[in-house]
Structure 1
Amino acid sequence: MNEPRLTDRAFYLRRLGFDRPPAPTLETLRQLQLRHTGAFPFENLTTLSGEPVLIDLPSIEQKVLHDGRGGYCYELNHLFLALLEELGFDARAISGRVVMGQPEGAWTARTHRLSLVIIDDVRYVTDVGFGGMVPTAPLLLDSRAEQLTPHEPYRIDQHVDGFTLRANVAGEWRAMYIFDLQRQEAIDFAVGNWYVSTHPESSFAKQLTVARTGEGWRRTLNNGSFAIHRIGHGSERRQVADVQELVGLLESEFGIRVSEHSQLIQVLKRLIAVPQ
């Protein structure tokens, strides 16, 4: 069955600052990726509300483009890939294993979605759904050198099992995720999405995780811990202890409209009460 097409590509492009479809060039990809991470926040509120996370394209388009929400990798990178394909990019979905914060050498479940893009026979990886450490520029797949982005430097290490994306954080090359180029189908992403949104050991089922990236800054919210990380400067942090303040923060700092979903509000109250 053919994948549905975007129903409002023009509106999507306007959200990204384009009044007409741009040419499928590397510069376009750079602009799209950087702007996307600022326009559409990473968040897991649907999981916390106890509702299913729908990852078919029409559902994602409605939620992210029209309902004032964001999403996580299975939503944001799916939506982004649909846009790239409609603009004429040679692109396909791939997947990986998140190891950020894990001991070196850890091997986790395959629960991350990103995209491979080929431009003039050169391979790039692009990702708009990796939370507070999302790369803000496409990265050359076949280079082992440090690659600069508008935010942190990244590099891609190659090994027998595929590739490891690393970011230079505070002078240390930290592993973000492991990935490979194995063909992925909708069922593979359905299984990964089901795991991260329902398994009791999934971090998305246990804590609030929100992120948005802009020019020279990254904003993150983990339960009640809000931080603004300014590139080249220190971080500003504060604790949010009131749920209405949290709801206001989600809208003012991340552009997320939170419905008065009673179960979600109760879950948020409980999460921000947990000491950080």
Structure 2
Amino acid sequence: MTHALNLDSYLTRIGYTGATAATLPCLRGLALHHAQSIAFENLSPFLGLPVSLDLADVERKLVRDGRGGYCFEQNLLFGQALRCIGFDVVDLAARVLWTQPDDAHTARTHMLLAVDLGGDRHIVDVGFGGQTLTGVLSLRAGTPQATPHGDFRLLRDGDQWRMQSRIAHEWRSLYRFDLSPQYAVDYEICNYYLSTSPRSHFTQNLIAARPTPTARLALRNRDYAVYTLDGGEIRRRLETSAEIVRVLDEDFGIALTNIPQLAARLDGLP
């Protein structure tokens, strides 16, 4: 990976104006600003377009073109920005458990990051859709940890860790991971499968998510939900393609220029 990330452009994109130093307050600020500014979205695989994990392509798409992306793109970009600032970052992989039993044997299809800081290890993840972390978790077992968008905790079983989020007063497992470092090649096969296979939910459904200062926004095909931080929930169905485009643009902040066949694909949504 020889491309040099333009850190100033990235910071402008996420609206971060605080100090840039390898400190916990900076890490927290960057995670929150990134998650609230760059939406989780799968428009490229949904439209049959390739998803490149080359840093130059990811930077062009998420920073310059105003798009979002899914876990590999989000955390690849975030990890490189952290390294540019001076953080010690380790790329990790996880087995997704969302909507699965806790003992399910799923593939390592999710990317997250570990950050070593002052002798302590922390977990950050700006790419898990509707439950994306907007804060930083200390790698310690069992203790609920507050973030700007709810409580999370990490459970440990030997060398395995399980990420959980508290949703409606119930702990729900998101994924299971270990601390084995991953490399760019480790993500390529999973990225190819998720972005091209007809069995991947990313090729068959329109998905977008973004946290705001007061809520989490979630779109799946025509179903749009706003989950407010005080426990409220607003749902509505987007009946027309024009409504979907407006929500993607205005609510999720996704630039929709130069995206071929978008209207036709949206018209075909169930």
Q: TM exceeds 0.5? A: yes
The 1:261/1:190 distance shift into structure 2, 3 A limit, reads same
CA distance in 2, matches of 1:220, 1:20: 28
- Which residue in 2 is equivalent to 1:140? 138
CA distance in 2, matches of 1:19, 1:216: 21
- Which residue in 2 is equivalent to 1:116? 114
- Which residue in 1 is equivalent to 2:188? 190
CA distance in 2, matches of 1:270, 1:18: 38
Shift of 1:160: 3.1
Shift of 1:103: 2.4
258-267 vs 32-41, greater mean Cα deviation: 258-267
Q: 1:74 aligns with which of 69, 72, 75?
A: 72
SS at match of 1:210: strand
Q: 8 Å contact 1:13–1:19 — kept in the other structure?
A: yes
Unaligned regions of 5+ residues in structure 1, if any?
A: none
- Which residue in 2 is equivalent to 1:94? 92
- Which residue in 1 is equivalent to 2:209? 211
The 1:103/1:242 distance shift into structure 2, 3 A limit, reads same
The alignment yields a C-alpha RMSD, in angstroms, of 1.5
- Which residue in 1 is equivalent to 2:219? 221
CA distance in 1, matches of 2:31, 2:190: 23
Letter in 1 for 2:61: K
- Which residue in 2 is equivalent to 1:202? 200
Unaligned regions of 5+ residues in structure 2, if any?
A: none
Equivalent pairs counted in the alignment come to 270
9-18 vs 205-214, greater mean Cα deviation: 9-18
After TM superposition, the runs of 4+ consecutive aligned structure 1 residues lying more than 6 A away are none
Q: 8 Å contact 2:3–2:56 — kept in the other structure?
A: yes
SS at match of 1:153: strand
Matches within 5 A, 1:1-276: 2-6=1-5, 8-19=6-17, 22-160=20-158, 162-259=160-257, 261-271=259-269, 274=270
The 1:108/1:161 distance shift into structure 2, 3 A limit, reads farther
CA distance in 1, matches of 2:179, 2:198: 29
85-94 vs 135-144, greater mean Cα deviation: 135-144
Letter in 2 for 1:189: Y
Letter in 2 for 1:215: P
Q: Deviations over 1:116-172 (max 9, x none)?
A: 101111000101011110111111112321111111101001113511100010111
Instruction: Give the TM-score, by structure 1 length.
Output: 0.94
CA distance in 2, matches of 1:133, 1:63: 22
CA distance in 1, matches of 2:256, 2:96: 27
SS at match of 2:150: coil
Shift of 1:262: 4.8
Identity of aligned residues (%): 39
CA distance in 1, matches of 2:156, 2:18: 38
